[in-house]
Structure 1
Amino acid sequence: MSIKEKEKKKYSLDKKNGDEHQIILYNDDFNTFDHVIETLINVCDHTPLQAEQCTLLVHYKGKCSVKSGTLIDLKPRLKRLIDANLSAEIL
């Protein structure tokens, strides 16, 4: 088995075990670009460029995955996003 196949298999096992989740941020008509960008930097540890790109994706596509990880890591981040009046959920 090649290294790529091992990595692919390991990743698919992680997904099956439910270890990997995502925070999905949704578009709304209330928050400014600056507020969303600053919140993503503070809550999701984004760089300013990452935060700006995610904000634009949310604006034009309606949603964007802004953070991946375990539920233990994502739940407090989701709470902080919601407390900042952003629309988000964990999938």
Structure 2
Amino acid sequence: MTNKQTRKKRQGGQENFPEGKYLLILHNDDIHSFEYVINALMEVCAHHFEQAVQCALITHHKGSCDVRKGTYKDIEKMKEAMVLKDLSVTINSQP
């Protein structure tokens, strides 16, 4: 990781994430149905039905799919909502 990608601590203990875009990555599992994942993507990530279907299919066939791009703050909120739905998601910084 470059220095720009490294998290720095601000005074007061708050983390400061570097400017730039982050990706919310959905990982495949053998637990949830396509319908469940599609509905979660539409609800949490504001996907249209077709977009949610495509992301679910890519995740199923390739093992993961970047389902949303944005600031760390926005992506972190979506990650938390997806985790509450028991979906496996991670955040990656975009190169």
Provide TM-score, normalisation by structure 1: 0.80
Unaligned runs of 5+ in 1: 1-14
Unaligned runs of 5+ in 2: 6-17
Alignment RMSD (CA, Å):
1.3
Q: Which has the higher strand share?
A: 2
User: Who is 2:33 aligned against?
Assistant: 32
Higher helix residue share: 1
Matched, 1:84 2:85: yes
Which aligned pairs between 1:2-41 and structure 2 lie closer than 5 A? 18-41=19-42
What CA distance in whole angstroms lies between the structure 2 residues aligned with 1:78 and 1:27? 15
- State the aligned residue count: 76
Displacement of 1:18: 4.2
Partner AA of 2:77 in structure 1: P
How many Å separate the matches in 2 of 1:18 and 1:60? 32
Identity of aligned residues (%): 37
The residue type equivalent to 2:82 in the other structure is L
After the TM superposition, which parts of structure 1 deviate over 2 Å for at least 4 consecutive aligned residues?
none
